Chains A and B, each alone.
Chain A
C-alpha cells in the first residue's frame, strides 16, 4: 500500500477514536463536539511523534545489513 493510503486509513480510524473518547469525556454534546478539533490534532500529533521515534529507533538499531 502506498503511504498516502496508510495515512488515509489512519486518519479515518483516528477520527472514530477521538469522537468516541470526546463523548466519553464530555456528558454534553456541545462541549464534546467543540473539543473535537483540538483532540484530533493532539491525537494525530502524538501518534506522529510515536511513529517518528519508532522510525528513528528502527534506523539506529534494526538495520539488518
Chain B
C-alpha cells in the first residue's frame, strides 16, 4: 500500500482565486510565490494596458447606449481581470457619446484586453491548485492543458492522451463556429456589431481570433436571413468549449494532486 503524506495547505484556495480575480498575481503573493506573482501581474496587467492604449479606452463604447450600465460589462472576457475592468470603467467609462471613429488598432486592442481577462482566469486556476498541493507534483500542471484547450478546442484532451475525445470536440466546436460564421455572413466576427455574441465566441480561442483578424470587417451587401442562427451557433461554440475545459481541468487536477500527495520512497506494507 502506498502511504500518502498529510494534506498540507499553503493557503485557502478560494482566497487565492478571489485575490487573483481582483488583481493578477495577488493570489500567488498570498501563497508566498513571489516570482509567479510578479510574472502574472506584469504580463496580465501589461496586456490589459496595451489593449486599453490601442483602443484609446473605448472598448465599451461598442455597447448600444441602452445597454450601457454598471453590470453591462460583467459578461465580457475583460471581467476575468476585475480590477483592471473596474479601473477601465472608472477612467474611460462608456465614452462621451459623440460619434468619433474608433482608432485603427481598436480590434487588436479589444482582443488584448479580452485576452488579459481570460488568461487571468487561468492564473486563478493555477493559484487554486498551488494552494492545495503539498509539493509540486510530477504530473503536468492542470493549467497547461487548460490553456491549450482554450487556444485550440480539443488540444487539452489531446495532451492528456484522450485522442478520440479531442478529435470529436475539435470537429464539433470548430465546425459549429464555422457554420455559424457562414450563416451570419462573417458579421459575428465584429465586436462592434455583436458585442455580447463576440464575448461568447472569444471562449473558442484561436479559431475565433484568427477568423476575426482575417475576416473581421465583412461587408454586408444583402439581407442575412439566418443571421440569428449564425450568431447563436458561433457564440454557443465558445460557451460549449467551457464545458470541454472543465472536463480537461477535472482530469488534469486529479492527476496532479494525486502525484503531489504521494511521496516517493514512503512505501509501507
Asked if A pairs with B, the answer is: yes
Residues on A close to B: CB < 8 A? 1, 9, 12-13, 16-17, 19-21, 23-24, 27, 29, 32
The segment from B5-13, B53-61, B95-103, B241-249 that touches chain A is: B241-249
Residues on B close to A: CB < 8 A? 162, 164-165, 168-169, 172-173, 176, 179, 225-226, 229, 232-233, 236-237, 240, 243-244, 246-247, 250-251
Q: Are B247 and A24 in contact (CB under 8 A)?
A: yes
Taking the nearest CB of chain A, how far is it from the CB of B128, in angstroms? 19
Which residues of chain B have C-beta atoms less than 8 A from A29's C-beta? 162, 164-165
Taking the nearest CB of chain B, how far is it from the CB of A4, in angstroms? 14
Residue of A nearest to B232 (CB): A13
Taking the nearest CB of chain B, how far is it from the CB of A64, in angstroms? 23
Taking the nearest CB of chain A, how far is it from the CB of B254, in angstroms? 9
Which residues of chain A have C-beta atoms less than 8 A from B233's C-beta? 9, 13
Q: Are A23 and B244 in contact (CB under 8 A)?
A: yes
The A contact surface, by secondary structure, is: helix
19 A-B residue contacts at CB 8 Å? A12-B179, A13-B176, A13-B233, A16-B176, A16-B236, A17-B236, A17-B240, A19-B168, A19-B172, A20-B169, A20-B240, A21-B243, A23-B168, A23-B247, A24-B243, A24-B247, A27-B251, A29-B164, A29-B165
Taking the nearest CB of chain A, how far is it from the CB of B116, in angstroms? 26
Taking the nearest CB of chain A, how far is it from the CB of B48, in angstroms? 30
- Bound complex: CA A29 to CA B251 (Å): 13
Of the residues A1, A9, A16, A32, contact of B240 by C-beta under 8 Å: A16
- Bound complex: CA A27 to CA B226 (Å): 36
Residue of B nearest to A19 (CB): B172
Q: Are A20 and B172 in contact (CB under 8 A)?
A: yes
Q: Are A23 and B225 in contact (CB under 8 A)?
A: no
Residue of B nearest to A26 (CB): B247
Q: Are B169 and A23 in contact (CB under 8 A)?
A: yes
Q: Are A16 and B173 in contact (CB under 8 A)?
A: yes
